[in-house]
Structure 1
């Protein structure tokens, strides 16, 4: 009678790498669980380097400045920085990082700028990051070295008020750009767009300094603009975008002009009007909305927010609908709830 082998069978380790990596990917779907993937390297020689092939998501969120015993916050920050820099040293070995988020919101923004620069350097030069999100306190200067990167596919920058590339921008891998609370200076938007030849989606939220948005990127099909929380009454925006197919407006409707948008197919107008008080600004917004209706009569699908419906009656929309060059059967009016 044959003796049973004393060696314990490890069926899990016998699986192909692709399946094991898939299992590890499910383990680290939560950002906080990413460290568990690295710990699997101690299981055996078979698992030692598998974690490097798992796309992970990482997040750095600066500790809040809360009240406590003297020196406690400084000690917590120091411990956090030491731990973060140590961890990033081995995360750079990953073949791909799906998302890397840096949230830097503190009452003493200038004190730790060098640390933020190191995190941006990690995202732009050391690691293969696919989606980089940076939210910084007002006044942070986006470093010049970060304007050269080909691995990013999605870039999200918030509250970084100083964007000023001194040379040409090279974000050739980026297909989606999102900017929030940015005060643009002359020529910067043009440099950014020219450095993103593969850009497909552009999102601008709460921005200032851009009065003419000329988009010549042939692959860019989707544009989202939200200028809510912007109080400048003289805010105006002219858009020239011959390749845009999907356009969405949110926020306030103030002197928005569409030029050369013949490729538009879907348009969403979801402006927020201040009803109940008759003032010149309100009348300007209503006039602007009516002009926008005429600029998009050629689209196939038009979606309206509840405030827009109040401004322009359905009967008036029906008149525009009849002017559509495709005929009434192609212009579909949807009302957003």
Structure 2
């Protein structure tokens, strides 16, 4: 119990194709097994990682079990990294917004993070959100945050990051076929930026400290030799390149290369290196 451990629980994949009655039995077996293991490990001195993958349709009768996992990770055990992936509709409990032991948090909830009071995640250095809408209270409660990863997030149109220690920002919409992502980014302290996947519009308002940038996105516009990029997207793309003209290293994906010729790129001054992503 004095040795740091990692606990990983994953719902059996073959249960997804089971009949309803068998699926419910398997689900209960999985829940009971997981809960018993957590009861055993509750007094462990240090848990480096606690991960639960319960990526199945949401059921209200299982809420107490998911609550138990969150309570274990946030209040009962000394967990350093907590990862929770569950189905649509689960509401992250309010008590979990106060925790000083978490250093890394990975959440996939298909819902909103809505803290009613101030967030206190003072030990947090890395946040990873997938299919989540969140508020500014979350970032303001993470004064030591160094890395923020956002995967397929929706309903956020202005991302203002004032955390002085945050150095890395990843925005990844590559797992989705939806491109209705329009985002203004104000992040004066970040040094590393990645923008991946489909989107409609990305604007960088303030990235003065940026050193490395990876632009591997697609505005999802149909382009042929005789059909120029629509004016709005073209203007946005040119402005985006202008905003990263001071970086030391710039990596470009296929779409960016296609719509912005190398001759145009050569006009950008002070770029240390440009790499093309195959």
Q: State TM-score, norm by structure 1.
A: 0.75
The yes-or-no answer on 1:231 pairing with 2:147 is no
Deviation of 1:259 (Å): 1.6
Question: What is the alpha-carbon root mean square deviation over aligned residues?
Answer: 2.2
SS in 1 for 2:90: coil
Matches within 5 A, 1:199-238: 199-228=145-174, 229=176, 231=178, 233=180, 235-238=181-184
**Residue deviations 1:260-299 (CA, integer Å, cap 9, x gap):** 2111111110013546556898654343222210111111
CA distances 1:176-235 after superposition (whole Å, capped 9, x unpaired)? 001111134xxx1x10000000000001111112111111101000001123426364x4
Show the counterpart of 1:67. Answer: 18
Instruction: Give the equivalent residue in structure 2 for 1:331.
Output: 272
Aligned residues: 273
Unaligned runs of 5+ in 1: 1-51, 325-329
Bigger drift between 286-295 and 170-179 goes to 286-295
CA change 1:58–1:296 in 2 (3 A) is same
User: CA 1:247 to 1:107, structure 2 compared with 1: closer, same or farther past 3 Å?
Assistant: closer
Cα distance in 1 between the residues matched to 2:201 and 2:57: 37
Is the 2:198–2:220 Cα contact (8 Å) retained in structure 1? Answer: no
Q: Does 2:266 match 1:318?
A: yes
Contact 2:229-2:259 within 8 A present in 1 as well: no
SS of the aligned residue for 1:192 comes to helix
Q: Is the 8 A contact 1:253 1:288 kept in 2?
A: no
CA 1:284 to 1:159, structure 2 compared with 1: closer, same or farther past 3 Å? farther
Write the distance in 2 (CA, Å) between the matches of 1:146 and 1:87.
Answer: 21
After the TM superposition, which of the residue ranges 94-103 and 111-120 deviates more from structure 2?
94-103
Native 8 Å contact 1:150 1:171 kept in 2 = yes
Contact 1:226 / 1:250 at 8 angstroms: preserved in 2? Answer: yes
Q: Which runs of 5+ in 2 are unaligned?
A: none
The structure whose residues are more often helix, as a share, is: 1
Following superposition, the deviation at residue 102 of structure 1 comes to: 1.4
Aligned equivalent of 2:74: 124
What's the CA shift for 1:110? Answer: 1.6
Change (3 A) 1:203 1:107: closer
For 1:147-166, list aligned pairs within 5 A: 147-166=97-116
Aligned to 1:4: none
Of residues 204, 209, 223 in structure 2, which corresponds to 1:263? Answer: 209
Deviations 1:4-50 (A, max 9, x none): xxxxxxxxxxxxxxxxxxxxxxxxxxxxxxxxxxxxxxxxxxxxxxx
Contact 1:206 1:230 in 2 (8 A): no
Matches within 5 A, 1:22-33: none
* 8 Å contact kept, 1:147–1:169: yes
Specify the structure having the higher radius of gyration (Cα).
Answer: 1
Structure 1 CA distance for aligned equivalents of residues 253 and 222 of structure 2? 18
Cα displacement (A) at 1:111: 2.0
Tell me if 1:182 matches 2:132: yes
Which structure 2 residues correspond to residues 91-110 of structure 1 after superposition, within 5 A?
A: 91-110=41-60
CA distance in 1, matches of 2:95, 2:217: 38
Rounded to whole Å, the distance in 2 between the matches of 1:102 and 1:175 is 20
What is the rounded CA distance, in whole Å, between the counterparts of 2:4 and 2:228 in structure 1?
Answer: 53
Residue 64 (structure 2) aligns with: 114
- What TM-score do you get using the length of structure 2 for normalisation? 0.90
SS in 1 for 2:240: helix
Question: Which has the larger strand fraction?
Answer: 2
